[in-house]
Structure 1
Amino acid sequence: MTTRKTQALGSLGLDTRQIKVYQSLHKLGPASIRDVAAEAGINRGSTYETLKQLVTMGLVNYLPKGKRRVFQAEDPEQLLSLGESKQQALAQAMEELRKDIIPALKQARPEFSPGNVRFYEGDDGVELVLRDILKSTAKQGNNAYSVISTKTLRQHLYRPFPNFTRQRVQQGIGVRVIAVGEGGDDAELAERKWLPAGAGTDASYIAIYPPKVAMITLADQDYPVIVIIDSAAIASTQQLLFDTLWRFL
């Protein structure tokens, strides 16, 4: 059986042993446990347990033959019934997740915990932050976020995600940027104001997209280090500071 077919059966909840036994029964027709075990290459004890599981799943039945049982596979169309049952159960589980389970779990979580702070490194971490900005901003319905960015870091920011600005514009997400130091390209749905860079200004990027704040800096050899804080209180305070500074520039 090809890998794709095996994966399809696996999606229905069949494990590797069940697939082997099920396939062997279709090849053999009605067969004893010993014959199925030999065909599948599995010991008799495991074969018997697997056959019982397949009977429970409605894929196999058995009939007496003397003092022994002979097993046979049900019509392959039964696989469709199994798939439909799995699909219905999954749809019901998704509905319960959305309506009850996820809201209850969120309500049970403490307002702030170590899990609200995440650390990432490297270009992969930068790309994760940029994608999280787009996803979270769209999800919150704000359609805008705020950034404080230094000249030193800007040249490294979009290296792992060169299409970020295009995707931001396509999604109708605006951004206000306070650029520390000269530079910064004009773009659609973007407003920019500048602050002079002091002698001690280091590489940093702060994105405020409530309820999150992301901070990026560079370690040795321009290696990005990222922190994301998921806290409505911290994000709202940072947004207040940004808005105040924005009005005075």
Structure 2
Amino acid sequence: LLELGSQPASVVAKKSGLKRGHTYNVLAELIAKGIVQEYEKGSVKYFTCLAPQILVTMLEQRALELDTRKKRLLEVLPELEHMRNPSILQPKVRFFSGLDGIRQIYEDTLREPKKEILAIGDFEHYFPREHSVELNDWIWNYCSRRAKRGITYVGIVNKSPTSDLAFKKRKAERRVLKMVKNADLSVEINIYGNKVAIISSSHDMVGLLIEDKPTADTLRNFHQAMWKKLPDYSL
């Protein structure tokens, strides 16, 4: 149509090599998109294409409209998220294994916006020097990075030489501890946001990451109930 100018459908069909019925369908789609205009001259319908510059202007206007709609959506997004019922969402469970898998779980805790991790476990297993010197050193580094991000570690831990060392670093590494004695806590549980991480790094190096608000809230309430009954950590 840019070459032909205003023409009836028969001319457009002949020039394009399309059947007339298909030509009408294509022209109808272009009219709906605002690219082609239709008018009658006598008893014949003519079709004409808008000037290229007008098409550019139309696209700019549509882009502006989409941007406006996006801004409006972002404004109400928090309210929409609040309206969503989390209980109808299916829990997400991911399995991790190996050194890299354990690292991925710990790295996920650093993205916690509420700046608090509730934990249960035994530092002798958290820092498994005898099993993996590499993981042991990496976790101490992780603790420093966690503290720099302003995340507080609130832990119920088994008293041990390693937990004594962690207690001595409590201010620098934003760590608050309460203790149990002679408990068999071979896995670590981290509760943060809507997630629960269960980590076994002393032997098999495996872990589960559960993203489910009811599960996280239940374990958080359990942690808080235990916390009230346990003594503060002491050397």
TM-score scaled by structure 1? 0.58
The separation in 1 between residues aligned to 2:17 and 2:107, in whole angstroms, is: 51
Q: Does the CA contact (< 8 Å) of 2:154 and 2:175 recur in 1? A: yes
Higher Rg: 2
The separation in 1 between residues aligned to 2:14 and 2:182, in whole angstroms, is: 81
Q: Does the CA contact (< 8 Å) of 2:196 and 2:211 recur in 1? A: yes
Is 2:160 the counterpart of 1:188?
Answer: no
User: Aligned pair in 2 of structure 1 residues 190, 127: CA closer, same or farther (>3 Å)?
Assistant: same
| Paired residue type of 1:242 | W
After superposition, residues 161-180 of structure 1 pair within 5 angstroms as: 164-180=142-158
Unaligned runs of 5+ in 1: 1-24
The separation in 2 between residues aligned to 1:144 and 1:79, in whole angstroms, is: 47
After superposition, residues 44-59 of structure 1 pair within 5 angstroms as: 44=23, 47-48=26-27, 50-55=29-34
Query: Please, which of 186, 194, 205 is the counterpart of residue 188 of structure 2?
Result: 205
User: Aligned pair in 2 of structure 1 residues 154, 225: CA closer, same or farther (>3 Å)?
Assistant: farther
SS at match of 1:121: strand
Is 2:215 the counterpart of 1:241?
Answer: no
Query: Please, which of 81, 84, 89 is the counterpart of residue 105 of structure 1?
Result: 84
The separation in 2 between residues aligned to 1:127 and 1:37, in whole angstroms, is: 62
Q: Does the CA contact (< 8 Å) of 2:118 and 2:192 recur in 1? A: yes
Query: Please, which of 103, 109, 117 is the counterpart of residue 145 of structure 1?
Result: 117
Higher helix fraction (1 or 2): 1
Which residue pairs with 1:15 in the alignment? Answer: none
Unaligned runs of 5+ in 2: 7-11
SS at match of 2:146: helix
The separation in 2 between residues aligned to 1:126 and 1:37, in whole angstroms, is: 63
The separation in 2 between residues aligned to 1:48 and 1:159, in whole angstroms, is: 68
Deviations 1:33-87 (A, max 9, x none): 776798xxxx7576435413421xxxx2325586441323434133221111001
User: Aligned pair in 2 of structure 1 residues 67, 44: CA closer, same or farther (>3 Å)?
Assistant: closer
User: Aligned pair in 2 of structure 1 residues 70, 225: CA closer, same or farther (>3 Å)?
Assistant: same
| Paired residue type of 1:176 | V
Q: Does the CA contact (< 8 Å) of 2:198 and 2:207 recur in 1? A: no
- Identical-pair percentage: 15
Which residue pairs with 1:223 in the alignment? Answer: 206
User: Shift of residue 90 of structure 1?
Assistant: 1.4
